[in-house]
Structure 1
Amino acid sequence: MDLTQNTAESVEFMVEAIKDKLKVMNFGAIKSTHFDIDMYEELHDIYRMVMKKTNFSVREMEAIAEELGKLRNK
């Protein structure tokens, strides 16, 4: 997947990868369609940070969920 391209497919890939990596969290309600392409860079930043880490504290997972919530379409 070429994540340098700002596409709906890239957004879907990143959201699914974040959900897979953070299995502990309840991401069932979060879908790629909830994110606007205009927020691509912010989502990509979160994706890169999540993919770099192997473990997450509860506080880190809460912060990630909060940030994803801020990026969702209103």
Structure 2
Amino acid sequence: MKLEQASEENLSILINGIADRLNLVNRSILQPEDYQLGNYQDIKELYDHIESKKQLSVYETEAFIQELANYRK
């Protein structure tokens, strides 16, 4: 999977992947259409960081959700 190229499809993959890793029950807070392609690199960096961790603490999960909220439209 090549996620280096910014596209709407790849942005959707990133957002859905993040939601999966964070085990979100309320997925409505992470809808791909709520994020702009201009923030792709920042969101990709968050995705890569989340994917590199074996396990996330509650505090880390909350921090990632808060950070993603900064990129919403």
TM-score by shorter chain over 0.5: yes
Q: Counterpart in 2 of 1:32?
A: 32
* TM-score, normalised via structure 1 length: 0.90
Structure 1 residues 46-69: Cα deviation after superposition (integer angstroms, max 9, x where no partner): 000010011111110110000000
Moved runs in structure 1, 4+ residues, more than 3 A?
none
Q: Counterpart in 1 of 2:68?
A: 68
* TM-score, normalised via structure 2 length: 0.91
Q: Counterpart in 1 of 2:7?
A: 7
Q: Is the 8 A contact 1:19 1:27 kept in 2?
A: no
Structure 1 vs Structure 2 CA RMSD? 1.0
Query: How many residues of Structure 1 are paired with residues of Structure 2 in the alignment?
Result: 72
Could you tell me which runs of 5 or more consecutive residues in structure 1 were left unpaired when the two chains were aligned.
Answer: none
